Amino acid sequence: MKILSRICDKVELPETILVHALKLSQDLLDARSKVKGITIPAICLYSLIVACKESHINKVNTKKLMEIFKAYGYRISLSSLIKISAEVTVPMVPKSSEDYLSVTIPAIVSNPTVKGKIMKYYHSPTEYERKLYRATISVLAYVDKRRRGGHNPYALAATSTYAGEVALSKMEKRRPIFSQRVVSESVEVAEYTIREQFGEFFRDALLSFLSQVNC
């Protein structure tokens, strides 16, 4: 699956897209035995297209991605992509908060207020997205999955993204780039929900994480 990593780096796609595409491609690989003539590069391309579409990433389209794959030596026909879409089915599983980070992080980073602040500290939004994703995943790991039961995973993803930015700002010794209100406006989750979830789940998780990185 190195091709996915190389393509995402070339196009400067967020790490959340790479993680989503890798997970989807693995599911498709497990299911492809039922259909003949589908190559691994075709599955990788299809997975990347779906990951971008689900996360509302419009900087690259199918044609552009096909051209990039071709430049790397992988000729993939449109008919093979259609075949995957039509004939390979992947069992639907409930999405976790981690899965929704591919939606919440790009939505927040694309907020005009956030964009301006990012460039004060980073070379590009992509660099920041990758650091934010890693920090968010790290903090989220300190929240017991059993405690999350009964809570909307999308809302928890939104709150965890805020917690990830707080953690990142502490580690980099700077002011936070966005607030709970900005998260609320960007991902359409009530601000009071983010505030309550941060207190209930993420304040202690954040402290535990920061203690491990000596912040």
All domains of the chain in start order, with CATH: 2-87 (1.10.472.10), 97-212 (1.10.472.10)
Tell me the pTM.
Answer: 0.69
Query: What pLDDT, on a 0 to 100 scale, did the predictor assign at position 214?
Result: 74
Residue 189 CB contacts under 8 Å (≥ 6 apart), including other chains: 154, 155, 158, 159, 183
**pLDDT for 169:** 97
> In which region does residue 173 sit, left (phi positive, over 0), alpha (psi from -120 to 50) or beta (all else)?
left
pLDDT over threshold 90, residue 53: no
Distance, in Å, from the CA atom of 147 to the CA atom of 111, rounded to the nearest integer, reads: 30
117 three-class SS: helix
Range 37-53 average pLDDT: 89
pLDDT digits (tens, 9 = 90+) for 110-147: 899 998 899 999 998 889 999 999 999 999 999 998 88
Among 161-165, 166-170, 186-190, which is the least confidently predicted range?
186-190
Residue 4 and residue 18 in contact, taking contact as beta carbons nearer than 8 Å: yes
Which pLDDT band, with edges at 50, 70 and 90, does 70 fall under?
Answer: very high
At 7, which amino acid appears? I
Q: Is the pLDDT of residue 92 over 60?
A: no
Question: What's the pLDDT at 215?
Answer: 64
- Complete DSSP assignment for 8-29: HHHHT--HHHHHHHHHHHHHHH
Per-residue tokens: 92 = 């639907």
User: In this structure, which amino acid lies at residue 171?
Assistant: M
Mean pLDDT of the chain: 89
